């Protein structure tokens, strides 16, 4: 009897891109003050850990950022774009209603014929997209995938609401995920609870040539914080159990970069020192679906995260969605 050879997926390259325009908290405070909105560097840092963020120029789209991150990931993987046979983009801020940002990335990279689609799970989206790509590679539906998180959240911020507009930034992160004979993605776990759709949302849509509802981000910060700190520990435990690993096996935790206090809480519950947590929120703000791959790429290129390390990725987002992926790099 012929025995099937196990098939796995591994990350072979990472890349990220930030728009050139960097706004410190002082820059943003001055901008808001012109409209009578008060905030300060101290107020923002104490509550979030954020010190700066990047905003895209008006003519730059999510797919533009995605392409730049993808090029760097392809180069890191020593991979030609023509060999990619799957593209998944996670974005909550696509270039247009349709087609997908993934199809636009496909066009801009000169790739033809392979499946390309977007995933929408907001800040958990990269974890969702990575889990989908892993499943498709394991079943033989793809061999080499581009998985990208890209956002221009600056377009959906209410700059009259200092509790939300100071939190977010723009950027993109990407990985090349390839079929492998040895395990890379060890386990994934995804969840959602639609009862909480209202605590983080953009309650607007386009109909009849007009915007219906409110096209700006709304968030119940305390409710999001309370849910996040609970589900992040649970999903971490779940994915470790699936992979038959323990807290002690985690070399690095790369969480969604939303709030330093949420990251500190999760690390404490997993008995991880903060020097084992990759933190970029201070420089990038919350880049939603881009935050995890951005942080991963920064960690890899800085030499912190190395080949062979065991890494836990986890995120929470509007929906309410949450998920985790455990992997060996």
Q: Annotated catalytic, 259? A: no
Question: 273: domain range?
Answer: 185-328
> In this predicted structure, what is the pLDDT of residue 6?
81
Q: Which of 139, 158, 180 is the last residue in one of the domains?
A: 180
Catalytic: which of 123, 201, 259, 284? 123
For the chain, the three-class secondary structure string (H helix, E strand, C coil) is CCCCCCCEEEEEEEEEECCCEEEEHHHHHHHHHCCCCCCCHHHHHHHHCCCEEEECCCCCCHHHHHHHHHHHHHHHCCCCHHHCCEEEEECCCCCCCCCCHHHHHHHHHCCCCCCEEEECCHHHHHHHHHHHHHHHHHCCCCCEEEEEEEEEHHHHCCCCCHHHHCCECEEEEEEEEEEECCCCEEEEEEEECHHHHHHEECCEEEECCEEEECCCCEECHHHHHHHHHHHHHHHHHHHHHHCCCCHHHCCEEEECCCCHHHHHHHHHHCCCCHHHECCCHHHHCECHHHHHHHHHHHHHHCCCCCCCCEEEEEEEECCCEEEEEEEEC
Q: Which of 151, 180, 209 is the last residue in one of the domains?
A: 180
> In this predicted structure, what is the pLDDT of residue 301?
98
Q: Is position 70 within any domain? A: yes
> In this predicted structure, what is the pLDDT of residue 75?
98
- The reply to whether 33 and 156 lie within a common domain is yes
> In this predicted structure, what is the pLDDT of residue 1?
46
Rg (alpha carbons) of the chain, rounded to whole number: 19
Q: Is position 41 within any domain? A: yes
Catalytic: which of 54, 201, 256, 284? 256
Q: Is position 275 within any domain? A: yes
- The reply to whether 137 and 245 lie within a common domain is no
- The reply to whether 191 and 174 lie within a common domain is no
Q: Is position 248 within any domain? A: yes
Q: Which CATH number characterizes residue 217's domain? A: 3.40.47.10
- The reply to whether 254 and 295 lie within a common domain is yes
Q: Annotated catalytic, 103? A: no
- The reply to whether 165 and 18 lie within a common domain is yes
- The reply to whether 169 and 200 lie within a common domain is no
Q: Is position 2 within any domain? A: no
- The reply to whether 108 and 75 lie within a common domain is yes
Catalytic: which of 25, 165, 284, 286? 286
Q: Is position 162 within any domain? A: yes
- The reply to whether 101 and 118 lie within a common domain is yes
- The reply to whether 191 and 318 lie within a common domain is yes
CA distance 280 to 266: 16
Q: What is the pLDDT of residues 128-187, one digit of tens each?
A: 999 999 999 999 999 999 999 999 999 999 999 999 999 999 999 999 999 999 999 999
Q: Annotated catalytic, 256? A: yes
Q: Is position 3 within any domain? A: no
Q: Domains in the chain: how many in total?
A: 2
114's tokens: 């392979």
- The reply to whether 286 and 273 lie within a common domain is yes
> In this predicted structure, what is the pLDDT of residue 133?
98
- The reply to whether 194 and 148 lie within a common domain is no
Flag residues of the chain having pLDDT under 70: 1-5
Q: Is position 224 within any domain? A: yes
- The reply to whether 15 and 75 lie within a common domain is yes
pTM of the predicted protein model: 0.96
């Amino acid at each position: 009897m012929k025995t099937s050879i196990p098939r796995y997926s591994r990350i072979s390259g990472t890349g990220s891109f930030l728009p050139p325009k960097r706004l410190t908290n002082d820059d943003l405070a001055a901008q808001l003050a012109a409209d009578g909105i008060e905030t300060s560097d101290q107020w923002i840092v104490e509550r979030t850990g954020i010190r700066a963020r990047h905003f895209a120029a008006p003519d730059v789209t999510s797919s533009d950022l995605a392409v730049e991150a993808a090029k760097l990931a392809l180069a890191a993987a020593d991979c030609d774009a023509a060999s990619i046979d799957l593209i998944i983009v996670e974005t909550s801020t696509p270039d247009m209603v349709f087609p997908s940002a993934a199809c636009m990335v496909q066009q801009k990279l000169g790739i033809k014929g392979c499946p390309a689609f977007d995933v929408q799970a907001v800040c958990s989206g990269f974890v969702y997209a990575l889990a989908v790509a892993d499943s498709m590679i394991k079943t033989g539906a793809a061999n080499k995938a581009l998985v990208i998180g890209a956002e221009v959240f600056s377009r959906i911020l209410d700059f009259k609401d200092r509790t939300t507009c100071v939190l977010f930034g723009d950027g993109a992160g990407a990985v090349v995920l390839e079929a492998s004979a040895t395990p890379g993605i060890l386990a994934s776990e995804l969840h959602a609870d639609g009862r909480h759709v209202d605590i983080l949302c953009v309650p607007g849509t386009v109909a009849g040539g007009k915007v219906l509802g409110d096209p700006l981000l709304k968030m119940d910060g305390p409710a999001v914080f309370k849910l996040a700190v609970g589900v992040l520990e649970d999903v971490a435990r779940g994915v470790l159990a699936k992979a038959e690993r323990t807290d002690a096996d985690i070399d690095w935790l790369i969480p969604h970069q939303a709030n330093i206090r949420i990251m500190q809480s999760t690390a404490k519950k997993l008995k991880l020192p903060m020097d084992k947590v990759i933190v970029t929120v201070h420089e990038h703000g919350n880049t939603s679906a881009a935050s995890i791959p951005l942080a991963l790429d920064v960690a890899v290129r800085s030499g912190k995260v190395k080949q062979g390390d065991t890494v836990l990725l986890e995120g929470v987002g509007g929906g309410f969605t949450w998920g985790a992926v455990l992997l060996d790099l």
